Amino acid sequence: MSEAARRSVGLLVQTSLEGKDPAKVSEELSELAPAGVVLFRKDIERAGSAEKSVEEVRRVLKDALASTTGPLPLISADEEGGYVRRVESDRTPSAMALGASFDYGLTRKASLIIGQKLHALGINWDFAPVADVNFEPSNPVIATRSFGDNPGRVASHVVAFIEGLRTAGVLSCAKHFPGHGRSSKDSHLELPTIDADLETVLSSDLVPFRAAIQHDVDAIMVGHLYYPRIQKLEEPCSVSREIISGLLRQTLGFDGVVATDALSMKGLGERMEVGEAAVRALKAGCDLLETTSLDMAWEARHALEESLSKGNLETGRVLESAGRVEQLMQRGMAMEKSVLGAGTPKPKLFTARDYARCVTMYNQGAAFPKRGELAVVVGGSPLSPASDKLESPLSIALKRLGYYVRSSLRLEDLPRKGERYRISFAVSPNKQCVTGVLIVLRDGHMHPQWAEQVSDIVESGLPVGIIGIGTPYESSMLPDEVRYVCTYSSLEESLCAALRSLTSPSARTKPGPVRLLAHKAKKQRNLRARTK
């Protein structure tokens, strides 16, 4: 194998350091010669500060690859905002929260903030935006990571996000082609099967990807998905020639870098070993193989080299992909120099007004009391303000707005149907000491039994307010007389905006980024029947 081919193979792999000291694996990185590394929170926080950690990674990687005069290595991270954040100081809301604002300029501002933070750290590639249209309410993995369920509006937000990153000098990557929004399964855990034909996908799921391509997105990530009505072979899209070379390259005309989702995910890994997946993905038209460990990166590299030496993989195919990756690296370096040459702009800030525009009131209900002592009931969320989590975002938000938490409970621990008399006692042994009951839910529609428990709490006679920190589909199962506000994330700033909306006499309902479920009409009727 020629030295050019050997170097090219390295460029087809991106790895993770798994929180290891980059200096201690510098020789291994030099030998592996990857295109770059993917940073997770443990990598970014390893050296005590994000700036110091990323700078050390950049220095070691540049030295290991002897590329100080060549293209900068790709230093990437999944920084989407909301629940998917690798940089702790990033306080931008989720994509669905931005979708709730119906303001593409606000999305551009949010992604510029993200880009500025990444650029300041030395991260030059963001695995964002999510271009999936969230058609499936029970989607366990996309949900608030999507801008909504309207393909046209999602496309406009995707374009705005790409533009914001570009202004900050950071590369973008639209994901998860050809669309993860119809799935009720998590591709991290299994291979989702999507029941949609080509005509449907072209007119809906692919609209944001087409817009991203038209606006010069830097890369596209392919998901571990299976579309049986589009694919002739039963295999993940990430190793499908029909999907990558056919649908993405030929039909949509994309000629940039195509990256796989992580090869470690079970949607792919339960069907084949890493080496086989790497070879099949490259043959299908992928350019960059995302791995989550150095061992996995070596496994992918060795499989590619072996296939080359045996003639099972064409050298031309390897050189073609390596050329695209090098162009991406050159593009990233040019963008970084352009931003540095223009001087460091004043960082943008997301204001309280911006956060307020990213929350939605779905149920008008009565205004919740301002300040006072609360009983807090949390469902499906890590935000419990119990004594062991006093500094949770919810606790901080409540303190900022003048509330004191007298009791904190998990909805899952409250009595079930038939034991309603215990609900009031569990929530508040002494009603006179409590101003109201605040219920915080995450994706309550996935837990239908919660509807009964919420109704029982309402029947206690205490003022009740509800905040949703996931998708808003749960609104349809909640009592109409209780005010419900959705934040689409658990950020302290978003929770403060929701609490202000809960207590404002002038707050009004407004449309949200997704259509709600169909049992809204039945819920009030059911509650009345139970109270007779």
Residues annotated as part of the active site: 188, 261
In 3D space, the residue among 107, 58, 53 whose CA is nearest the CA of residue 80 turns out to be 107
Dist CA 279 CA 343 (whole Å)? 43
Dist CA 212 CA 410 (whole Å)? 42
Residue 170 gets which letter from DSSP? -
The label of the residue with tokens 């490259």 reads 282
Helix (H) or strand (E) holding 212: helix 207-214
Q: Are 468 and 441 in contact (CB under 8 A)?
A: yes
The residue type of 74 is: L
Dist CA 286 CA 40 (whole Å)? 23
169: phi > 0 → left, psi -120 to 50 → alpha, else beta; which?
left
β-bridge partners, 403? 372
Dist CA 355 CA 498 (whole Å)? 9
- Take residue 345 and report the two structure tokens written for it: 């702009």
The label of the residue with tokens 């989590």 reads 389
Q: Are 63 and 40 in contact (CB under 8 A)?
A: no
Number of Cβ atoms within 10 Å of the Cβ of 199: 10
Contacts of 43 (CB under 8 A, 6+ apart): 16, 17, 18, 19, 37, 53, 57
Max intra-chain CA distance, the chain: 82
- For the sheet containing 483-486, what is the strand order? 360-363, 483-486, 464-468, 436-441, 372-379, 403-410
- For the sheet containing 257-260, what is the strand order? 174-177, 219-222, 257-260
Residue 84 gets which letter from DSSP? B
Residue 250 gets which letter from DSSP? I
Task: Report the Cα 265 to chain-centroid distance in Å.
Answer: 16
Dist CA 215 CA 254 (whole Å)? 11
Q: Coil, strand, or helix at residue 62?
A: helix
- Tell me how far CA of residue 31 lies from CA of 13, 26, 345, in angstroms: 13, 9, 38
Contacts of 464 (CB under 8 A, 6+ apart): 368, 436, 437, 438, 439, 457, 458, 482
Q: Are 318 and 307 in contact (CB under 8 A)?
A: no
Pairing of β 360-363 and β 483-486: antiparallel
Contacts of 441 (CB under 8 A, 6+ apart): 378, 379, 380, 381, 411, 450, 466, 467, 468, 469, 470, 474
